[in-house]
Structure 1
């Protein structure tokens, strides 16, 4: 999820707020209401460097859809910091959009509310069939064994972006493939007076995405096989400590990044302030901030040892954006046509090129634009070494609780307070206590 970039405050209320309601969204002013049956409302996620960038990307495509179908789409681009709370309000009030984007990690949580249209075989047939989509993207559309709650729209993976000039000046001949190599490279880069690795310690979703990967590399999960929280296992504690230690011990992440929120680390990298960045499909964002592609390289995210890939080590979560329909829309036919349009081969090429993301639609991936060296890294990661975040009903609460624990640990590191195995375990134990009880 891109963002899936910032966890929405209040996500911990999801189960309580919606446990007793299975209503969906559906606009009272648009969305196919009686006074405007040819109108849909659409909440898009903030994918570009700004909301205005997104409007420039999306509006021509929405105009194209209106010309083809006669259905006008009223667009609102919603910041990630507001999105989940907006969805909750829409679901409980019945006043929301017809179609919306969601971070793919929220799919199972929102599915559990009953607010979203299930994509069963009949609904998938209306948009060309389920087999059009790649397996890794479908893995983040809802709980296993249930009909998906959403349809994949954009696929992303994490990669290591590195400033070629800064690494060369520091005598680092190639991008680090392991965390030990990254720490060693960091020492050389700091000697040249440069900051090493950008991070966003106040961005809860970014925290979750990274500690999830570290946990996988240590053979751990944050949930048991039956979906119960398991935040204090030795592997989970080791994973969180290793990530925070990039600031606390290794001095790789600057202390000031403990307060960074959405896109601040990307801006630093684009301006040449940091040598490396761990980010989801960042090329379009970097371009919009004036960084040309020849100034940076793209490599897989480091692993503990060896190489990432099938049968070795996970080095990314399956990132991406899914498209959902509120079940109580008054214009289900129009909403389905819009999803079909946005996930059609032609639009998939246009939209994913604009956002430097990977199409989750198989046929669209054949376009040469998705086979550049940078995109090849992302495609290979998604195909061989990415794992979906837990597809459990409490996933969004997990993002908030554990993401906040990591934020607090970064604050400790920035203030010079010791980050120990005991202090990490204590924060994770507190986070686990905040999870809903069954």
Structure 2
């Protein structure tokens, strides 16, 4: 999802997800010919520390595309807090951009609207073929058994970022590999107005990313094998409680984090207020906020056993950004050409280097920029110990409902109210009642 990040979303109704019109379209072409489009509209997600940074990264590449093809791309970088609602409004009105970025966790939900161009074999062949992309990225492009609703653009995984000086000052010799070690190190760091780590308690999507991993590590999941919501199984409840307890019981997260929104936890780490950060492909973001690459280390996210691997030791969701095309665009040929350009080896190297992400294109991954010790952690996680977000049509409602339940639990913890197994289960029960009935 930020940065392959996923995003906060407003309430989504069933009608918004199903009542998609086939009328309307994207931007118009000069002369109205679909064979020779001259303008495309593009909604890019906010990947860097600010919208302005994204514009500086993307505009030179869009200018390059215009020079090569004669097609002008009108760019809008949309903040994560607005992106999903903007997309959903566009799917119901039929008035969206030609091309857009989506958090990969939303792929199946947006696919269910019917508004996005299916990437069948014919369409994939126009951009060089489906086999150019790595399997982990393709696994988050839509529901199984259906043509993907999107094409992978940036791949990301969560990692543990740690402040080397703060670790040394606290007598911590190496990054933690288990949650017990993480908590113990966090307590050593939580002194003198500084804290072990930070979370964005009011950011429902960010909450979900952590909750899925904690639930998996406790043997739970939020959906059954046939895609039905199951928010109150023991593993899911225990996973959410373990996550919120980092503030409520372990006290290595500042109570004020209950109100934190997008990027605030990254800023706290970059400015030395916290010693550890769990984030998606954060290096470029941190360096843009003044940290040197030598100031922080990167390690896998902790697990219960200390050995990342398959099954309960998953330690990240498969994060990333996908590109989609509105199928009622007047510029389908130009839109497809733009996707081909953005997923070319050359552009994949430029863009993923800029965002510290991993190219989902196999041949681009061989570049030296993606074979450093830092990127090795991300690549290894994606290949061995990450799990895709639930590829169900109701995933966006899940993010909102469960992410908000966790937001409420963080608010309780910040207010000094006990967070118990019963209170966690009650919040998750309430969240499940908000899911559409089948």
TM-score (norm 1): 0.97
Map of 2:365 onto structure 1: 365
1:22 Cα deviation (Å)?
A: 4.8
The answer to which of 140-149 and 83-92 deviates more is 83-92
- Secondary structure of the residue aligned to 1:224 is coil
CA distance in 2, matches of 1:218, 1:408: 21
- Aligned residues of 1:43 and 1:76 also touching (Cα < 8 A): yes
Map of 2:399 onto structure 1: 399
CA distance in 2, matches of 1:427, 1:18: 24
Map of 2:343 onto structure 1: 343
CA distance in 2, matches of 1:31, 1:139: 37
TM-score (norm 2): 0.97
- Aligned residues of 1:23 and 1:91 also touching (Cα < 8 A): no
Q: Residue by residue, what CA displacement relative to the aligned partner does 1:32-79 show, whole Å, maximum 9, x if unpaired?
A: 845993111111001011111111100110111111111111111111
1:176 Cα deviation (Å)?
A: 0.5
Map of 2:38 onto structure 1: 38
CA distance in 2, matches of 1:25, 1:312: 46
CA distance in 2, matches of 1:313, 1:158: 14
1:296 Cα deviation (Å)?
A: 0.4
CA distance in 1, matches of 2:23, 2:82: 18
Matches within 5 A, 1:235-384: 235-310=235-310, 313-384=313-384
- Aligned residues of 1:24 and 1:116 also touching (Cα < 8 A): no
- Aligned residues of 1:31 and 1:40 also touching (Cα < 8 A): no
Map of 1:83 onto structure 2: 83
- Aligned residues of 1:134 and 1:361 also touching (Cα < 8 A): yes
Question: Can you give the 5+ residue segments of structure 2 that lack an aligned partner in the other structure?
Answer: none
1:300 Cα deviation (Å)?
A: 0.3
- Secondary structure of the residue aligned to 1:102 is strand
- Secondary structure of the residue aligned to 1:279 is strand
- Aligned residues of 1:108 and 1:391 also touching (Cα < 8 A): yes
1:279 Cα deviation (Å)?
A: 0.3
- Secondary structure of the residue aligned to 2:278 is strand
The answer to which of 388-397 and 20-29 deviates more is 20-29
- Aligned residues of 2:216 and 2:311 also touching (Cα < 8 A): no
- Aligned residues of 1:25 and 1:90 also touching (Cα < 8 A): no
CA distance in 1, matches of 2:194, 2:168: 12
Map of 2:50 onto structure 1: 50
- CA spacing shift, 1:404–1:30, aligned 2, 3 Å: farther
Map of 1:26 onto structure 2: 25
- Aligned residues of 1:31 and 1:41 also touching (Cα < 8 A): no
CA distance in 2, matches of 1:400, 1:427: 13
Q: Residue by residue, what CA displacement relative to the aligned partner does 1:317-342 show, whole Å, maximum 9, x if unpaired?
A: 00000000001111111111000000
CA distance in 2, matches of 1:264, 1:29: 39
Map of 2:9 onto structure 1: 8
Map of 1:390 onto structure 2: 390
Matched, 1:141 2:137: no
CA distance in 2, matches of 1:62, 1:38: 13
CA distance in 2, matches of 1:401, 1:33: 42
- Aligned residues of 2:218 and 2:239 also touching (Cα < 8 A): yes
1:82 Cα deviation (Å)?
A: 0.8
- RMSD between aligned alpha carbons? 1.6
- Aligned residues of 1:31 and 1:98 also touching (Cα < 8 A): no
- Aligned residues of 2:223 and 2:229 also touching (Cα < 8 A): yes
